[in-house]
């Protein structure tokens, strides 16, 4: 997965576990358009300080994922739910076959939960 996409997903899931200060700088640096220099100036800390804070946040977010695996779990569920959506549009499937497929996928999702 692209680093930026991965950071976004991890932040979506675990961002609330960072402090407000960390969240604010992380958002500006990773999702905003500001440079390290601009952020350093805005928060009155060194460029190195901004850089270290972002690295620490990335590590924290990754640690949470290593322990809880929620991003991975949600990605699997999302894929299966999208499969359900696609199957409903497959007109060559009979009522019976559609029901069977759905039931199977539903079972797979429940195992993930």
Q: Is 22 in the site for a second copy (CB under 8 A)?
A: no
Contact with a second copy (CB under 8 A): which of 21, 55, 56, 100?
100
The Cα–Cα gap between 110 and 68 comes to 17
CB nearer to a second copy: give 35 or 106.
106
CA torsion sign for 91, 95, 101, 102 is positive
CA 21 to chain centre: 21
Which stretches of the chain bind a second copy, using CB under 8 A? 13-14, 16-17, 64, 67-68, 70, 74, 77-78, 81-82, 84-85, 87-89, 93-95, 98-100, 102-103, 105-107, 109-110, 113
């Amino acid at each position: 997965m692209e680093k930026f996409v991965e950071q976004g997903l991890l932040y979506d899931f675990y961002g609330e576990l960072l402090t407000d200060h960390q969240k604010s700088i992380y958002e500006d640096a990773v999702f905003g358009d500001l440079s390290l220099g601009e952020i350093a100036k805005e928060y009155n800390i060194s460029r190195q300080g901004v850089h270290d804070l972002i690295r620490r946040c990335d590590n924290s977010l990754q640690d949470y994922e290593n322990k809880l695996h929620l991003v991975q779990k949600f990605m699997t569920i999302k894929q299966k739910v999208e499969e359900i959506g696609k199957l409903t549009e497959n007109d060559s499937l009979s009522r019976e076959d559609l029901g069977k497929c759905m039931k199977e996928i539903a079972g797979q999702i429940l195992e993930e939960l």
